[in-house]
Every structure is written in structure tokens, then in C-alpha cells.
Structure 1
Amino acid sequence: MNGLSELIDSLEVKFFKLNQKVMQLEKKNLELQEELLLSKKNQQEQNSEIQSLKNQIDTLKMVNSLLGSEENKRETKLKINSLIREIDYCIAQLSD
């Protein structure tokens, strides 16, 4: 009977250690999930900021081309022609 008692005690100790390990892993899992959520939020904010900066770059390029800087002379002419075509289209639509 003594051997059976020792075996049960041994199993209880192993179960306790295993239970402690499971609890530690669950805690670590929660921490990692929170870290992942924070990282995803940070990534979304960065993507939003990148998009905003790209829009600013496009706006600045358009402004530079409309101002007629020497390096963007061709772009300026193309943009003006595009705007004229849009205006002509609008006038045609209004006269119908």
C-alpha cells in the first residue's frame, strides 16, 4: 500500500507542477495577445499616417506643377490641359 501512496503523492506533485505551467502559459498567452493587439493598432496608425503623408506629397506635387516650376513645366502643361478639358466638358453639359 505504501508504494501506491507514494505513486499518488508523486502524481499529485506532477499534476500541481503541470497545473502551474498551464497557468503560466495562459498568462503568457494573454500578454502576447495584448501585445499583438497593440502592435496591430500601432500598424494601423502608421498606415494611416503613411497614407496622409502620401496625400500631402501628391498635393505638393500638384501645387508645384501648377506654380510652374522649371522642373515640372511639362507636368504643369499637362495639368492645365486636363483642367481645360474638364471645364470644357462642364460647359458642354450645362449647354445641353
Structure 2
Amino acid sequence: MSNLSEIVDSLENRISKLLHRHEKLKQENVKLEEELSELRSQKDRYQNEIDQWVETCNSLKTANSMLGSDQHKRETKLKINALIREIDQCITQLSD
């Protein structure tokens, strides 16, 4: 009988420890999910900032080539030609 009592006590102790560990893991999981959400938000902000800098860089390249820089003239000519083609397409659609 005493042996059975010891086994039950041991099981209760183990279950208690498992429940406590489970609760700690749940709390840690919630904390990690919050951190993940914050990091994703931060990543989105950084990506937006990178996109803005890339756009600014491209604008500066175009402006630089229009000011006479030989370095980006080809890119500018290609961009201007693409814009002219788009305008021509718009005019064609309006004419129809």
C-alpha cells in the first residue's frame, strides 16, 4: 500500500512539473511570437526605406545623366525611349 502511495505521489509530482514546464513554454512562445511580429514590422519598415532609397538613387542617376554626365546617358536614353513608346500607345488608344 505504501508502495502504491509513493507511486501516486511520484506521478503527481511529475505531472505538476510537466504542467509547470508547459506553462513556462507557453509564456515563452507568446513572448517569441510578439518578438517575431515586431521583427516583421521592422523588416517591412526597412524594406520601405530601401525602396525609397533605390527610387531616389534612380532619380539621381537620371538627373545626373540629363545634366551631361556620360556615365548614365545610355540608361537615360533607354528610359526616355520607353516613355515615348508608352505615350505613343496612349495616343493610339485615345485615337481609337
What TM-score comes out, normalization by structure 1 length? 0.76
Secondary structure of the residue aligned to 1:65 is helix
Partner of 2:13: 13
How far is 1:66 from its partner? Answer: 1.2
* Structure 2, gaps ≥5 residues long: none
Give matches, 1:12-91, under 5 Å: 12-75=12-75, 78=77, 82=81, 85=84, 89=88
- One-letter identity of the residue aligned with 1:18: L
Secondary structure of the residue aligned to 1:63 is helix
Name the count of aligned residue pairs. 91
Distance in 2 between residues matched to 1:47 and 1:39, nearest whole Å: 12
67 and 22 in structure 1: CA distance in 2 versus 1, 3 angstrom threshold: same
How far is 1:70 from its partner? Answer: 4.3
* Structure 1, gaps ≥5 residues long: none
- Name the Cα RMSD after superposition: 2.7
How far is 1:72 from its partner? Answer: 3.9
Distance in 2 between residues matched to 1:15 and 1:27, nearest whole Å: 18
18 and 48 in structure 1: CA distance in 2 versus 1, 3 angstrom threshold: same
7 and 73 in structure 1: CA distance in 2 versus 1, 3 angstrom threshold: closer
